[in-house]
Structures are given as structure tokens and as C-alpha cells.
Amino acid sequence: MKRIWWITVVSLALVLMLPAYGHVQAASSAAPVPSEALGISPESAPSALEPLHVEGTRLVGSSGKTVQLRGISTHGLAWFPEYVNEDCFRQLHQEWNANVVRLALYTQEYGGYCSGGDKEALKALVRSGVEYATRQEMYVILDWHILSDGNPQTHKAEAKAFFREMSREYAEYPNILYEICNEPNGGTSWQEIKAYAQEVISVIRANDPDAVILVGTPNWSQYVDQAAADPVQGYDNLMYTLHFYAATHRDDLRKRMTAAVEAGLPVFVSEYSICSADGNGAIDQAEADRWVEVMDRYGISYVAWNLSNKNEASAVIVPSCTRSSGFTWDDLSGSGHWLYQTLRGK
């Protein structure tokens, strides 16, 4: 019943969304190239969407099986809108085996949603991304990407308005996850994050009683131990984020992650890369593989930073590649090759 209902909602939304599609196509300069060179059969792609919930430390589907989401995050939507296109998402799903895409909506930097960015255009891009992901049977994370603003309280009123609007629109979708604050930093305490989370979660829950909500943790989403000691009370289906950059963060942070899970905290790695913490520098594949081994063992979901051709090591597309879908092997950077092989390896 729920499935039929959301298919109806999606179809209706698609009709209403046509103007937004025009916007995205206008933003996308490269013509779609049929996916040739990576040429993988769709049979290996993850199966149809089902609503998710949290049981213990795990993300679970309606059939009761553990679900592990593995995929990629966009760069800032205002920075690189061209990668929000259906051919791109289709390739990520069918060829790369990604079952989730994260839509990173910066609040502060570069045309940020709360710093002079075009709110309506950015929301149109989010909506297009949700529809493309849904049609491609992928989960989609709406990421309120705080960063230089440090404390999520800085733009709390706008966060509440944004999540109120989105959760009203997507209440019936089985595939939406809400990430309410990317990376609190600058000394923001867990108590401050928790107070923010209580308010934003209650706004989302008023519309959507059971979607999975991801809560950031102190120190650029690393101190999951503090969340484990004092989790948000009163709501189901919450998970807490840990972010790592494998050339910087090693055993210490991995132990913090596994200790939190063993203490009963549902952890979700909503952002990571295999380079250093500035998103650049050398990549460390051996360390990255250690992270993957542990995350797989614990059933933890992980989403790679980032889907762009920016001249930085975390970008999975090389700067010389100007197409926005139909990527070939040569279009991928070192971190892109690693991600492709890692996602395909399972």
C-alpha cells in the first residue's frame, strides 16, 4: 500500500518538477555520453527500494535484513550542479553498484543556502536529485552541509524551515534520509548539537514519523563516543555520523568508531575519502581498505566524498573530464578508481 502510494507521489512530483528539470539541464553543459567503457551488467545492482529503520546499531529493511548503503556524495550543489543528472545517477547505480547518493547542500560556503545562495534554485536541484535517485532506485541523503559556520545553531531557523518543507514533500518516500548537520566543529559541544538535533528532529517527525535521520557529532563528526555516552532520547531511527579521511585518520578514529558501535550506537559514515582531511594530498589505499574491512564487518554504511572534477584528490573525476555522465575509466582519478573497484567488489 505504502509502495503504491509513493509511486503515485513520485509520478505526480515528476509532472510538477518539469521546470526544475529545465534548470538542471541548463546547468549541465556536457552532452550525456552513453555508458560504454565501464560496461557492467545491471544485474549486479542492489535491489528495489524498501523503507529503512534502525534496529540496534544496524540499518534494516522491511524484510528484516541488514541494509548497508554504499555510494557517493555530490560536492557542493551550488559548486557542481551538473552532476545532478539522471544518466549520471543511473551509471553510479548500475555500473558502480552505488545504492545511495548524498546531496550536499552547503549552508555557508560558495553560494551557500544561508549565505546568499539562490534558495529556490538550490531546492530545485535537491528535488531533481531526489527524483533522479528515486527513479534509479537509490537511497538519497539530504545533507545540511554546515562547515565554516561551525555550530549548527548558527542557521537553526533556516535548517528547521528547510527540513519542514522537505519532510512534508517526502514523507511518503521510502528512500530519503535526513542528515541534519554535516560537521559541527570549532569547539561546538555535544550538548549544543543535541539541543539543535532535538528541535530539528521534532520538525521532521511532525511530517515523517519514521525516516532515518543522521545526526552529526563534535569535532567534524568524529566524536561518536560522546554521542554513545549520551544519545538523543525520545525518537526512533536515529543514526550518528562519523567522517574520516584515510590518509589522516587511522587506527585511533577507527577504534573510536568500533567502540561506539559496541556500546550500542548506530553509526553511519556519511562522508569519507581516502586522501587527507583537507580533501587533497596523496591517497592511501591500504588505509582505506582497512576502513572498508571494518565498516563491512560491522555493517556500517559509507558514502564517499566527492562527485566532481575539481582539482583535488577527493574528487573522483579528473579535471580534464568535462562530461557529467557516461564516465570512462580514464575519466576517473585515483580516488575514483579505488571507489569504483571498491563498490564493484561486493
Residues 62 and 211: their CA atoms lie apart, in Å, by 13
Choose between 13 and 242: whose C-beta lies nearer to ligand IDC. 242
Choose between 220 and 340: whose C-beta lies nearer to ligand IDC. 220
With binding defined as CB under 6 A, does residue 271 bind ligand IDC? yes
* Sites for ligand IDC among residues 15-44 (CB under 6 A): none
Choose between 55 and 278: whose C-beta lies nearer to ligand IDC. 278
* Sites for ligand IDC among residues 194-233 (CB under 6 A): 220
**Minimum separation from the CB atom of position 131 to ligand IDC (A):** 24
* Residues contacting 338, CB < 8 A, separation 6+: 274, 283, 285, 288
∠ Cα 74 80 86 (to 5°): 65
One-letter amino acid for residue 15 of the chain? V
Residues 32 and 34: their CA atoms lie apart, in Å, by 6
Residue from 279, 281, 299, 334 in contact with ligand IDC (CB under 6 A): 279
With binding defined as CB under 6 A, does residue 179 bind ligand IDC? no
Choose between 285 and 328: whose C-beta lies nearer to ligand IDC. 285
Residues 269 and 146: their CA atoms lie apart, in Å, by 16
With binding defined as CB under 6 A, does residue 278 bind ligand IDC? yes
With binding defined as CB under 6 A, does residue 149 bind ligand IDC? no
Alpha carbon of 176 to those of 127, 245, 289, 302: distances in Å?
A: 11, 25, 28, 16
∠ Cα 168 53 49 (to 5°): 75
Burial, 262: exposed, middle or buried (Cβ in 10 Å; 0-12, 13-18, 19+)?
exposed
Residue from 217, 241, 314, 324 in contact with ligand IDC (CB under 6 A): 314
Residues 100 and 144: their CA atoms lie apart, in Å, by 16
The active-site residue out of 82, 169, 183, 287 is 183
What is the phi/psi pair of residue 299, to 5°? Answer: 70, 25
Residue from 99, 107, 182, 188 in contact with ligand IDC (CB under 6 A): 182
239 near 54, Cβ under 8 Å? Answer: yes
* Per-residue contact string for residues 102-141; x = within reach of ligand IDC by CB under 6 A: -------x--------------------------------
With binding defined as CB under 6 A, does residue 240 bind ligand IDC? no
- Binding residues for ligand IDC, rule: CB under 6 A, are 109, 147, 182-183, 220, 243, 245, 271, 277-279, 305-306, 310, 312, 314
Which residues are annotated as catalytic?
Answer: 183, 271
